[in-house]
Amino acid sequence: MDKCPACGYTADTNANYSKKIGGLLRDRSPATRKLMNKIAGKINKNVPSETRIKYFHFLYGIKDIDDEVIVRSIDSFYKGKHYYKGKGFSYLRTIIQTREKNNEAIKSNERRMIGTAPPIINHEKGETNE
């Protein structure tokens, strides 16, 4: 059996994909699960070539990625309405995987752009509490 170069999945011809999808979704928080099901519905409705098997491959490809990264990536995908442009699960998986790789740099850049909260100054003593 050959492995997928994108996610490392090895194909199983006797697979029960519904059961496997359920198992991968159970590992996520309820809020993330709800968001993933919502975006999957949008993709399945607007991109006819996407199937449950592709949804499973998508879930398998992001199984080790933190929920925070997934939520931010799906939010970006949703706001861009990429599902109307024919972008499916593989496109979203790539967004999530790329964001995971760049997560620390993104946070650092956001801190530089926005800055941090100013220190709390105690006016009675003239001290700064950080």
Q: For residue 36, what pLDDT is reported?
A: 93
- In tens digits, the chain (130 residues) has pLDDT values of 567 776 676 666 666 888 888 889 998 999 999 999 999 999 999 999 998 889 999 999 999 999 999 999 999 999 999 999 999 999 999 999 999 999 889 888 888 888 777 778 877 765 555 5
Q: Quote the pTM value.
A: 0.74
DSSP-assigned letters across all residues of the chain: -PBPTTT--B--TT--HHHHHHHHHHTS-HHHHHHHHHHHHHHHHH-TT--HHHHHHHHHHTTTS-HHHHHHHHHHHHHTTGGGGT--HHHHHHHHHHHHHHHHHHHHHHHHHH--PPPEEETTTTEEE-
Q: For residue 18, what pLDDT is reported?
A: 86
Q: For residue 17, what pLDDT is reported?
A: 84
